[in-house]
Amino acid sequence: MAPLLQYGFAGMSVILIIIIIWLISRLLGILEKTNNIIAENTSAISQVGQQTSETFKVVIECKDKIISRPCIAKFE
């Protein structure tokens, strides 16, 4: 009976090791997908930052043009 229990324990250990290896491989796949998503989000945030900077420059130019024009209400 004792060898049967030992073989059962060894068999269960092998099965558990196989399950752990399978779970680790799935986890690595998920981590790779997550890294890709993070890279895409970083790129998108960088593009938003560039567009914000360009928009800010245009707003400053518009402000300068508006300030340089004479006030219409001043002649009334």
**Cα–Cα distance for residue pair 71/55, rounded to 1 Å:** 25
Q: Is 69 helix (H, G, I), strand (E, B) or coil?
A: coil
Q: Which tens digit of pLDDT belongs to each residue from 29-43?
A: 999 999 999 999 999
**Cα–Cα distance for residue pair 47/33, rounded to 1 Å:** 21
Amino acid sitting at position 35: N
Torsion region of 69: left, alpha or beta (phi above 0 gives left; psi -120 to 50 gives alpha): beta
Q: Is 64 helix (H, G, I), strand (E, B) or coil?
A: helix
pTM of the entire predicted model: 0.60
In this prediction, residue 55 carries a pLDDT of: 92
pLDDT averaged over 10-residue windows placed end to end, the chain, 76 residues: 86 97 98 97 93 92 87 67
